[in-house]
Amino acid sequence: MTVVNETHALLARLGVDAKSYTGGTMASRSPVTGETIGSLPVTSATQTAAMIEKADESFRAWRMVPAPKRGELVRLLGDELRAAKADLGRLVSIEAGKIASEGLGEVQEMIDICDFAVGLSRQLYGLTIATERPGHRMMETWHPLGVVGVISAFNFPVAVWSWNAALALVCGNSVVWKPSEKTPLTALACQAVFAKAAARAGGVPDGLSQVLIGDRSVGEVLVDHPKVALVSATGSTRMGRDVGPRLAKRFARAILELGGNNAGIVCPSADLDMALRAIAFGAMGTAGQRCTTLRRLFVHDSVYDRLVPRLKKAYESVSVGNPLTSSALVGPLVDRAAHDGMQKALAAATAAGGRVTGGARVEVEGPDAFYVRPALVEMPAQEGPMLEETFAPILYVVRYADFDEAVRLHNAVGAGLSSSIFTLDLQEAERFLSAEGSDCGIANVNIGTSGAEIGGAFGGEKETGGGRESGSDAWKGYMRRATNTVNYSKALPLAQGVSFDID
């Protein structure tokens, strides 16, 4: 079966109407072979505005549904995702180029966040706070926020929507999603799976979850629309620099999950076998196209010559291939631009004195598919392209002698998403996690930078945008907080001892 035939068979099984991916003007292509797998009708600006109005209406009904009942919808969504896991995971592999276990893993991440959100639907707690006034009670109440806009990137085409949607829905919001124009078919599939859950749940208002198909201009309507209370946007720092100020201008909320330039430090006491595996997955997994991909590595002088030659060997031997027909560990880059960006960064690294292992294009599926051998670059110092995120499998390696200097270099980039240290020394580990250690939103010990679980808050600092999605108390970003003070006394004492007596 050709890739396009398989795609259409999967979409049909997942419940997607063929009209939504045939005969339109926006092409979806599979990075696996480079072939066009769908032609989608685009949502116009007028349609987008009408959909947002619909979502607002839907929100007004949904916010009155008790949260545990809202949780029941998300439970059924998780149930439908379990049933659809194999098909949806395969579709992710086709449209985003992920290897099978990563395509399936992404759907598992969706199932996990649904389970988390179901529990949360009975735990949207506020505090009760001691008041200074007699006969008074003070408390916090969390209310639904409104229409939540989601803008997602190609590299996690379905999981990122689910982190936002599962929380937003139990919190009483409606969701309007603008997926990456590189991965619209997986978005249509999620919407079809959602529709199945909604039909089973019953009583779900129309327009509670909607998908916009189009490019940046469609996203801009979402960002600028006065009825969108929050936009959760995942993508480049450049995109965030545009979206953030636009939202701020109209005082809408933003959850930004932008670029990462994640690093690891390998200390003298590190378990090198463990570090090797963690580095290999972190740097080469998903062909280097995760926000959390390991991009910089600082290796202590005393272990450099034991670790780096082994790493090089792994780079030379890792299997690169078609993720649909082989068990290769590294699939394709998303497109030509990704490939060109990688080659440009490698040229700049060479010019800066870097020694490159790997990095060349690998012929797998013809001229329109962009497979590469991951690149390991030994750099004389942290400079040039190492300071930027290049969304491709390039790992820059630098030697260090002094722990404080390694931490300083670690933090000396714009982004602040994920980080890790490999050490068996308690003091080094704790210092890395302390206030003077890693400045990232995620800091790990003896684990790579990527592959976070949904239970923790996900996101980062500095140019990563500061937003948090997924677990912990990230749900609070999707609700509005009201402070309520109730006077059950017969007097009216004023706070701070103020007197204001009228006769």
Q: Which stretch binds ligand UN1 (CB under 6 A): 111-119, 285-293, 332-340, 389-397?
A: 285-293
Query: Which residues lie below 8 Å from residue 101, measured CB to CB, with a gap of 6+?
Result: none
Q: Is 135 left (phi over 0), alpha (psi -120 to 50) or beta?
A: left
CA dist., res. 51 & res. 85, Å (int): 28
CA dist., res. 411 & res. 432, Å (int): 11
Q: Which stretch binds ligand UN1 (CB under 6 A): 88-96, 287-295, 356-364, 402-410?
A: 287-295
- Regarding 292 and contact with ligand UN1 (CB under 6 A), the answer is yes
CA 315, 321, 326 angle in degrees (round to 5)?
Answer: 120
Contacts to ligand UN1 from residues 92-111, by CB under 6 A: 109
Q: Which stretch binds ligand UN1 (CB under 6 A): 130-138, 242-250, 288-296, 347-355?
A: 288-296
Out of 75, 196, 290, 295, name the contact with ligand UN1 by CB under 6 A.
290
Contacts to ligand UN1 from residues 147-166, by CB under 6 A: 155-156, 160
CA dist., res. 76 & res. 363, Å (int): 43
User: Cβ 421 to ligand UN1, closest distance in Å?
Assistant: 17
For ligand UN1, give the closer residue by CB, 33 or 234. 234
- Regarding 452 and contact with ligand UN1 (CB under 6 A), the answer is yes
User: Cβ 480 to ligand UN1, closest distance in Å?
Assistant: 26
Q: Which stretch binds ligand UN1 (CB under 6 A): 76-84, 114-122, 289-297, 377-385?
A: 289-297
Contacts to ligand UN1 from residues 37-76, by CB under 6 A: none
Q: Which stretch binds ligand UN1 (CB under 6 A): 378-386, 403-411, 445-453, 473-481?
A: 445-453
CA dist., res. 236 & res. 320, Å (int): 26
Out of 221, 450, 468, 478, name the contact with ligand UN1 by CB under 6 A.
450
Three-class secondary structure assignment of 82-93: HHHHHHHHHHHH
- Regarding 420 and contact with ligand UN1 (CB under 6 A), the answer is no
CA dist., res. 24 & res. 30, Å (int): 17
User: Cβ 282 to ligand UN1, closest distance in Å?
Assistant: 9
Query: Which residues lie below 8 Å from residue 392, measured CB to CB, with a gap of 6+?
Result: 287, 288, 289, 333, 338, 339, 341, 342, 345, 372, 375
220 is catalytic: no
User: Cβ 38 to ligand UN1, closest distance in Å?
Assistant: 23
User: Cβ 47 to ligand UN1, closest distance in Å?
Assistant: 28
Out of 416, 451, 466, 467, name the contact with ligand UN1 by CB under 6 A.
451
257 is catalytic: yes
CA 310, 315, 321 angle in degrees (round to 5)?
Answer: 145
CA dist., res. 110 & res. 118, Å (int): 12
Size of the site for ligand UN1 (CB under 6 A): 11
CA dist., res. 196 & res. 66, Å (int): 21
User: Cβ 98 to ligand UN1, closest distance in Å?
Assistant: 11
User: Cβ 489 to ligand UN1, closest distance in Å?
Assistant: 51
- Regarding 291 and contact with ligand UN1 (CB under 6 A), the answer is yes
CA dist., res. 203 & res. 206, Å (int): 9
Query: Which residues lie below 8 Å from residue 15, measured CB to CB, with a gap of 6+?
Result: 192, 193, 195, 196
Chain Cα centroid distance, residue 405: 30
Give me the catalytic one of 171, 291, 378, 440: 291
For ligand UN1, give the closer residue by CB, 55 or 413. 413
How, if at all, do strands 174-178 and 147-151 pair?
parallel
Q: Are 153 and 290 in contact (CB under 8 A)?
A: no
For ligand UN1, give the closer residue by CB, 34 or 456. 456
Structure tokens at 447: 């684990």
Query: Which residues lie below 8 Å from residue 279, measured CB to CB, with a gap of 6+?
Result: 264, 266, 294, 297, 311, 395, 448
Out of 234, 262, 419, 438, name the contact with ligand UN1 by CB under 6 A.
234
User: Cβ 293 to ligand UN1, closest distance in Å?
Assistant: 8
Structure tokens at 296: 């910089």
For ligand UN1, give the closer residue by CB, 156 or 475. 156
User: Cβ 388 to ligand UN1, closest distance in Å?
Assistant: 17
- Regarding 121 and contact with ligand UN1 (CB under 6 A), the answer is no
CA dist., res. 136 & res. 126, Å (int): 17
Give me the catalytic one of 109, 181, 257, 463: 257
Contacts to ligand UN1 from residues 333-392, by CB under 6 A: none
For ligand UN1, give the closer residue by CB, 359 or 471. 471
For ligand UN1, give the closer residue by CB, 258 or 303. 258
Structure tokens at 289: 């196209």
List the catalytic residues: 257, 291
List of residues contacting ligand UN1 (CB under 6 A) = 109, 155-156, 160, 234, 290-292, 450-452
